[in-house]
Chains A and B, each alone.
Chain A
Amino acid sequence: MADIDERANEGPKPRGLKRRDFLGGAAVVGAALALERHGQAQPTPAASPRVRATEGPASGDTDDRYRPVVTPNGSSLPFRWVDGVKVMHLRAGAVSHEFTEGLRAECWGYNGSTPGPTIEAVEGDRLRIYVTNGLGEPTTVHWHGILLEAGMDGVGGLTQRPIRPGETFRYEFTVREPGTFMYHPHWDEMTQMAMGMMGMFVVHPRRATGFVPDRDFAIILSEWSVPIGAARPNPLEMADFNVLTMNSKAFPGTDPLVAKQGDKVRIRFGNLSGIDNHPIHLHGYSFRIAGSDGGAFPRSAQQPHTTVLVPTGSTRWVEFEANAPGDWAMHCHMTHHVMNQMGHGVPNMVGVAGQATFDRRIGRLVPGYMPMGREGMADMGEMDMPQPPNSIPMRGGPGAFGNIDMGGMFTILKVRESLDSYDDPGWYDHPDGTRARPATAAELRADGIEV
């Protein structure tokens, strides 16, 4: 049924043939589709976009062959058509980046942001990507998962010499396969990726059939070490990461994913964390894991899941129909990955008496001292005590029912019966009788519950 399915059924075949296939065909872009280009602000699902079977136009800076992905907290990379080649420009450089309100750090990224803008193309497109190095050290760009000529693979020392500071390199290749890929440096990776240099690379199918998403999200997962009170990620950290991000944002800085009931939703995850895999769990839905950076999974092999494990250095995309309205949490299920700047070397105080003798003694020795973490640590987000500047230790965000004591890789899928736009619709208004609430004495009595 879908283009993906067809490919899956075709089995292995020389990939170079595909481009020749579509070069022969021709397609017209519907007028309606042109209006749909800015899909983010257009809640009405359009008809399946048909794919232009030629190379790009000779000029212009638009591409109406696909519904653009939504990169929460981010954007897509602008481009220009030059004689049928899609020309883009990445500028590596320093970025002052806010992870969420209260934590800003000097990071590195592309075109002024981390992650860099999402690259979007259509299967078969010829891309020419200029990379200008605005860093103080050399860099390269590796097109992770893209099948291309070896010399375009962007591995410093192996396939090219690194791009010196101030230099601009030209990469040019044809994207042969649709799918979800990434780009990142392949020179001093440890530093450059820890500093935020990465981006998603989406190749839309030439012919969109089958599951054609109304909402197509791209989220790159990464992890950082920003010492509490410091203002620059520490690339030397190997294990103890304290800022876990989706598109370089930690909750509550993550933009919600908004969908209308009935929308077909695809969420593409990439993971370029230093050492961690992230099991991303979506509440309220069962989804299919539809592919990885290796390509689409055969429809027959797609299993239903609620959690998708995204290993570092790979991508996954999941698909589902937004049929359950509500505010649904979507987060990494590693509990330390949904904390903001938690310290990991502190003694455990859980279960220690709240106002012990030593608390009074320390209170005399250190004015301003407060006992902490005795009953648990959730109250941390709401305690009003002085914190180190530029830090978000243990902080959560506001929710419909008080503080959401989560941070890091946490975001919210907001599905509504009706929407005027895909802007944040606010908190979900639960229908009567569909929300947990305190039990009344009468109810407890009636059901024979003793407390």
Chain B
Amino acid sequence: MRCEHLLMVALFAVGCVTPEAATRGVGRWSVARSGIEAERRAPSEMDELHPAVAERLREPLDADGAVSIALRQSPELQAQLAKVDIAVAELWSARPPNPEVELEALMNDGQASAIEMGAGIDIGALLRMPLRRRAAQAQLDAAELSAAADVLRYAYDTRVAFHRHQADLQLVELYRTAMETFIAAWEAAESMAEAGNLRQLDVAQNRAAYERSRVDVAQAELKALMSREELQVLLGLDGRQTEWRPIEGFAAPEADPPEVEALERVAVEHSLVLGAQEQTLLAWSRQVGVERMRGAIPEAHAGLFAEREDGEWSFGPAAGLAIPVFDQNQGGIGRTRAQLRIAQHELTQKAIRIRSLARRARASWLNAAERVRFYDETLMPARAAVLQETLLQYNAMNVGVFQLLQARRAVIDTARERVEAMFDLWRARAQVELVVAGGEPPAMGGPDVSGEAMGTGGDDGGH
């Protein structure tokens, strides 16, 4: 049965899976298979940097480091985790009904001439209680699974934001290098004009190309700054911890994605969203039982009755029962049954969706990996060969410095395209990992971190 399975996947407080433990609001939380550990912290603690986070920030940050910081330091994530408490509270409402006590006294000249006392309990509620409690338990399980899915998604968002920032930093470097080629061309034109060999027109053209390249650099720098702030927020770091820096470089991951059948199977098996939906389904089916019982026994009280009259107490049992002649709670039953059907359809829909997301993530990975491989094995070497051959032609005095610099710029342009492919690869890889861990990635083309929107820069310099 899937439910047992999902229990293992579920978010739980270490050493104890009872909701009571969760309500304490602290403790380490981990999501099975994902290697993701979140730590619930009290709001009052959040002002201080978690010791592990402080430790991490001393070294250059990698993607795993960024995720581990976010899981400890992000107030947004803590708020998500605290939402489980709401479900826990729901469970409290499924306690036994409180007994009711009635007291009636007949006053005569300041004296109670007659007293009636009754104590009873709502038998119907008492009878429904185990069912209601089981329904609430399923709701709590659903909430916990959803929270686990949110943690995974948060970790994913952080990871992707980190890679975006990494990519943006690479782009800044590449735009700066491109600018260097434009400076060199301008300086060369200046020197040649000084020697009397070039017209001022050539100098002006080269200068204009250089000035244009500065705009590219500025835009790239702004973009890197924005993606850094994006990440800063996801990490939960405030203005006192802005000195962190990411690791150098941006190498390709080694692994290959799993086969598509296996991936779809694992995605469905591990899906926390599906697990939560199943628990919701279970909760509604149990709620149908509750409503049925409410229909069968709409109102029933049982208790004791005591009466004092003329100084004498007399006791006796008391009971009251509504006869479900006209209202058998058809409304409540119908409503919950409809909810059950909705939940059933939603489960199917979510299963379709998670399979599709798994396929999309895998396809994106393969595509991006192929593109990166193509850049690494074919296009970059091809560009490098052009530069090398141009250098030979330059040595042969068959082309000049301007053409040489142009060939260098073509290498840079291709390197920039490669950075985007590399980012796509890391993002797709994170999506596949998210799916395998049981999370749900954003649909591509949706509100995700977008790729480079800037133009490829001006090639209007040189000759």
Contacts and interface: CB of A to CB of B under 8 A. Distances in A.
A362 B401 contact: yes
Interface residues of B, number: 33
A427 interface: no
Nearest to B178: A365
A126 B405 CA distance: 64
Given A347-B197, A351-B195, A365 B396 contact: no
Given A366-B387, A366-B408, A361 B393 contact: no
Contacts of B194: 352
Contacts of B401: 347, 349, 358, 362
B396 A350 contact: no
Contacts of A350: 195, 197
Nearest to A351: B195
Nearest to B194: A352
Interface stretch (B8-16, B180-188, B219-227): B180-188
Contacts of A346: 397-400
A372 B463 CA distance: 18
Contacts of B183: 358, 361
A82 interface: no
B188 A380 contact: no
What is the interface of chain B mostly: helix, strand, loop, or mixed?
A: helix
B227 to A, nearest CB: 27
B395 to A, nearest CB: 5
Interface stretch (A57-65, A193-201, A275-283, A383-391): A383-391
Given A228-B393, A350-B197, A369-B404, A362 B184 contact: yes
Interface in A373-387: 373, 377, 380, 385-387
A394 B177 CA distance: 32
B213 to A, nearest CB: 13
Nearest to B407: A366
B197 A351 contact: yes
Greatest chain A CB density within 10 A among B177, B184, B185 is at: B184
A361 B197 contact: no
B397 A393 contact: yes
Interface in B347-404: 387, 389, 391-402, 404
Given A228-B393, A229-B393, A366-B387, A358 B398 contact: no
Interface in A220-248: 228-229
A228 B400 contact: no
Contacts of B185: 358
Contacts of B408: 365-366
Q: Which label, helix, strand, loop or mixed, suits the secondary structure of the A interface?
A: loop
A252 to B, nearest CB: 17
B196 interface: yes
Contacts of B387: 366
Contact of A349 (B180, B192, B389): B192
Given A347-B463, A352-B192, A352-B197, A228 B398 contact: yes
A376 to B, nearest CB: 12
Nearest to B398: A343
Contacts of B400: 345-347, 349
B198 interface: yes
B191 interface: yes
B396 A348 contact: no
A157 B101 CA distance: 128
Given A361-B183, A394-B397, A229 B392 contact: yes
A357 B187 contact: yes
B396 A394 contact: yes
B181 to A, nearest CB: 6
Given A358-B184, A361-B187, A388 B177 contact: no
Given A347-B402, A365-B405, A386 B195 contact: no
Interface string A335-359: 0000001110111111111001110
Contacts of A13: none
Contacts of B197: 347-352
A348 B180 contact: no
A106 to B, nearest CB: 20
Interface string A304-343: 0000000000000000000000000000000000000111
A341 B393 CA distance: 11
A229 B398 CA distance: 10
A444 interface: no
A361 to B, nearest CB: 4
A228 B191 contact: no
Contacts of A393: 395-398
A12 interface: no
Given A365-B180, A365-B405, A380 B397 contact: yes
A342 B397 contact: yes
Given A356-B188, A358-B191, A343 B397 contact: yes
Contacts of A388: 389, 392-393, 395-396, 398
B410 to A, nearest CB: 12
A402 interface: no
A225 to B, nearest CB: 12
A438 interface: no
Given A366-B408, A385-B395, A388-B396, A347 B177 contact: no
A366 B391 contact: yes
Contacts of B389: 229, 388
B398 A352 contact: no
A343 B399 contact: yes
B397 A372 contact: yes
Contact of A365 (B184, B191, B397, B463): B184
B451 to A, nearest CB: 27
Given A365-B180, A368-B391, A352 B397 contact: no
A23 interface: no
A148 interface: no
Interface string A389-404: 0010110000000000
B206 to A, nearest CB: 10
Nearest to A373: B397
A45 B219 CA distance: 84
Interface in B310-336: none
B391 A348 contact: no
A393 B389 CA distance: 14
A347 B404 CA distance: 12
Given A361-B183, A362-B401, A366-B408, A347 B192 contact: yes
A387 B191 contact: no
A69 to B, nearest CB: 36
A364 interface: yes
Contacts of A343: 393, 396-399
A342 B408 CA distance: 23
A385 B389 CA distance: 13
B256 to A, nearest CB: 34
A434 B198 CA distance: 44
A346 B463 CA distance: 10
A47 interface: no
A370 interface: yes
A364 B387 CA distance: 14
B288 to A, nearest CB: 73
Contact of B396 (A368, A369, A387): A387
Contacts of A369: 391, 394, 404
Contacts of B198: 347-348
A341 B463 CA distance: 21
A16 B429 CA distance: 93
Interface of B: 177, 180-181, 183-185, 187-188, 191-192, 194-198, 387, 389, 391-402, 404-405, 408, 463
Given A357-B191, A361-B187, 14 more contacts: A228-B398, A341-B396, A345-B398, A347-B198, A350-B197, A352-B192, A356-B191, A362-B401, A366-B391, A366-B404, A385-B395, A387-B396, A394-B396, A394-B397
14 contacts: A341-B398, A342-B397, A343-B398, A347-B402, A348-B198, A349-B401, A350-B197, A352-B192, A352-B197, A356-B188, A358-B188, A365-B177, A369-B391, A385-B395
Closest 9 CB pairs of A and B: A343-B398, A393-B396, A351-B195, A358-B187, A347-B400, A348-B197, A361-B184, A358-B188, A346-B400
